[in-house]
């Protein structure tokens, strides 16, 4: 599978220059490809467009989808999942194989916001949409300590930025954070210097840097919602960080773990040997991805304190 991705995806991804037509093509291609990875059919998917009038801080209607496992919603919490895609591609649909698995393994409902994408909507559009989704959960009575904020790749950047923003602004902090292959350094400097640069079958650091520029736009790169490694990280909830052993973003996950360690924040960094970027998306095919999702489910249930559920086969 790694060889197939290296030969079939990376050469074409390297041609992405940031043009709108190219971005639209990749959005369509990945949307169609996601249909090949079927999520658990037992999980229901409910579209959501909610203005959340209860909270005047919510700037736009929250759009996205809820995923719920059959008869297992415990009422004890929720997962806010922020999908990856370099801030420019992908959607809640492309990540259902992950979000549906989280719903099944934890018994918790999963809210996946359909946040605005770059280059049409640069920073802080995506961040504000995800913050609004978090405010929606709070407004609907979900205790903050029972909310897990999770995300992969750029969604991992969003999840970390949102959690830090809650601590800085006085919003109730979520109970925990789960990151799959988080994209931490949008400048691309860590990725370009990574020793995994030649081994990663999927992520081209040059392409990642282009996507970072598309999202940041005219924004300030030192903004704490963008620059995660240089901002205070005190009083953060526990983190679970999973990263593939051969991916170029491994260095970024390790750098984030160092920041958390220096701040005294609890974390568990798991480096999965031989695995590539967001390998968890193959959890219905690969035993390592299946076990990684089980680990994430156990972490979430422990943090939230939900009753044990039967994990997905």
Rounded Cα distance, 233 and 260, in Å: 7
- What's the length of the chain? 313
3-class secondary-structure state, position 63: strand
At 3-48, the pLDDT tens digits run: 666 555 655 555 555 566 688 877 887 777 777 778 889 999 999 9
What is the sign, positive or negative, of the torsion defined by CA atoms of 106, 86, 289, 274?
A: negative
Could you tell me which residues come within 8 angstroms of residue 295 by beta carbon, excluding any fewer than 6 positions away?
240, 242, 270
- Are 84 and 90 in contact, with CB atoms under 8 Å apart? yes
Structure tokens at 60: 């736009």
Q: What is the pLDDT of residue 312?
A: 43
Q: Which residues of the chain have pLDDT under 50?
A: 310-313
Could you tell me which residues come within 8 angstroms of residue 166 by beta carbon, excluding any fewer than 6 positions away?
134, 144, 172, 173, 174
Strand partners, 272: 244
Q: Tell me the catalytic residues.
A: 153, 247, 277
Q: What is the pLDDT of residue 248?
A: 92
Q: What is the pLDDT of residue 252?
A: 95
- The secondary structure of the chain in percent helix, strand, coil, rounded to multiples of 5, reads 40, 15, 45
Rounded Cα distance, 253 and 159, in Å: 13
């Amino acid at each position: 599978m790694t060889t197939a991705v290296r030969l079939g995806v990376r050469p074409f991804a390297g041609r992405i220059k940031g043009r709108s037509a190219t971005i639209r093509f990749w959005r369509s291609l990945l949307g169609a490809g996601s249909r090949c990875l079927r999520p658990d059919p037992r999980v229901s998917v409910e579209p959501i467009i909610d203005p959340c009038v209860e909270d005047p801080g919510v700037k736009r209607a929250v759009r996205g989808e809820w995923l719920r496992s059959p008869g297992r919603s415990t009422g004890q919490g929720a997962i806010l999942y922020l999908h990856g895609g370099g801030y420019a591609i992908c959607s809640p649909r492309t990540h259902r194989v992950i979000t549906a698995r989280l719903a099944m393994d934890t018994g918790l409902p999963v809210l996946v916001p359909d946040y605005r994408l770059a280059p049409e909507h640069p920073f802080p559009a995506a961040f504000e949409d995800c913050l609004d989704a978090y405010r929606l959960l709070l407004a609907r009575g979900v205790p903050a300590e029972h909310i897990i904020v999770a995300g992969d790749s750029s969604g991992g950047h969003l999840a970390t930025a949102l959690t830090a923003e809650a601590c800085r602004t006085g919003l109730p902090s979520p109970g925990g954070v789960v990151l799959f292959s988080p994209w931490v350094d949008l400048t691309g400097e860590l990725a370009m210097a990574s020793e995994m640069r030649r081994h990663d079958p999927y992520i081209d650091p040059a392409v990642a840097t282009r996507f970072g520029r598309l999202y940041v736009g005219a924004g300030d790169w030192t903004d704490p919602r963008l620059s995660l490694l240089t901002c205070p990280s005190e009083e953060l909830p526990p983190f679970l960080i999973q990263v593939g052993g051969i991916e170029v973003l491994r260095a970024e996950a390790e750098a984030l773990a160092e920041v958390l360690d220096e701040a005294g924040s609890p974390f568990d960094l798991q480096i999965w040997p031989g695995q590539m970027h967001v390998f968890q998306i193959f959890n219905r095919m690969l035993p390592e991805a299946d076990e990684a999702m089980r680990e994430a489910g156990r972490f979430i249930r422990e943090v939230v304190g939900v009753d044990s559920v039967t994990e997905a086969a």
